[in-house]
Amino acid sequence: MIEVNQFEEVIQIKMSREFEGKPLYWVAAYLVDGLLIDTGCKHTAEELVKFLEGQNLKFAVNTHYHEDHIGANYLLKHKFGIEILAPRESVPLINQVPKLYPYQETVWGYPEPTEVDCLPEEIDTDHFHFDVVETPGHCNGHVALVEPEKGWCFSGDLFISEKPKVIRPEEDIAVIIRSMKKLVALQTDRLILFTAPGSVVQDGRKALRACIEYFQDLSQRAKQLEKKGLSIAAIQDELLGEEGLFPQVTDGQFSSENLVRAALRA
């Protein structure tokens, strides 16, 4: 299923596999001046291609290599003949079959390997200029695209919410904090976050600062409790409460325990 929204000159395309008439998990792509930022998941690839017919699509960028951001690459390239650009670290990973957990296959599906080109440090459309900002932490090679005159920041999966309760085990919150600080420090009059889950955050700096403060506080408190001899489980109960359903349905890939461990490493 697809839901389309307009924000200034940006078209947001939210996509999700449908289950009993309801979305399983929204992921968003953004179309601006012929540039498509991320391509969603494999399960919605044909719907996305159909929507983009007649939209004057010229090229696409992947913010990183995860399956919910590259799922329509293959169809888009063969249907429209467009160039697709991705961060250097992501290029070889996009051109191979990923190893997915069952929940990833169910929710997003396996993307076909696709040859993509290396993303330069800046790109231009007919009417806009975008700086490519390296923002690792969620994964290696993650980037954000920033239109400095407009203050648009297409932030991928760097920012999900001000107070996330679960993360993947490979995520590094110390690196995420550095990446967020980099965006906060950009010389733009405003900073609007266009996020991968589909939220458009008008005061992006305020949201990023709140998330930075949350991570730093969580790390400090977790380390204090560890010094008192509390276990990982006890620290989690104290700071985040009981685990929800995420660890069960994602084979432990998204959990509060992962967040506590990351806070102790930070």
Q: What is the pLDDT of residues 183-223, one digit of tens each?
A: 999 999 999 999 999 999 999 999 999 999 999 999 999 99
Query: 255 lies in a domain?
Result: no
Whether residue 57 is contained in a domain is answered as yes
User: What CA–CA distance (Å, rounded) separates 74 from 72?
Assistant: 6
Mean pLDDT of 94-104: 95
Residue 53 falls inside a structural domain = yes
More confident residue, 29 or 21: 29
Position 89 scores a pLDDT of 97
Give residue 246's pLDDT band: very low, low, confident or very high (50, 70, 90). confident
* Residue 250 belongs to some domain of the structure: no
Alpha helices (H) in the chain, listed in sequence order: 45-52, 67-70, 73-80, 91-94, 102-107, 173-184, 204-227, 232-239, 246-249, 256-265
Percent of the residues in the chain that have a pLDDT greater than 90, as a whole number? 94
Question: Lowest-confidence range among 18-22, 32-36, 49-53, 175-179?
Answer: 18-22
Average pLDDT over residues 57-71: 98
| Domain count along the chain | 1
Mean pLDDT in residue range 10-28: 94
Whether residue 221 lies inside any domain: the answer is no
| 31: in domain | yes
127 pLDDT band, cuts 50/70/90, is: very high
Res. 87: pLDDT tops 90: yes
pLDDT of residue 95 exceeding 90:
yes
The answer to whether residue 19 sits within a structural domain is yes
Report pLDDT for 134: 98
Residue whose token pair is 């949201």: 207
* Residue 58 to residue 84: CA distance in whole angstroms: 9
Q: Is-contact 114 156, C-beta < 8 A?
A: no
pLDDT band at 19 (very low <50, low <70, confident <90, very high): confident
What pLDDT does residue 179 have?
A: 98
Confidence of residue 244 (pLDDT cuts 50, 70, 90): confident
pLDDT-based confidence at residue 21 (cuts at 50, 70, 90): confident
Would 204 be classed as within a structural domain? yes
* CATH number, domain containing residue 102: 3.60.15.10
Mean pLDDT of the chain: 96
**Quick one: average pLDDT of 6-32?**
95
Domain that holds residue 37: 2-216
Contact (CB, 8 A) for 191 and 153? yes
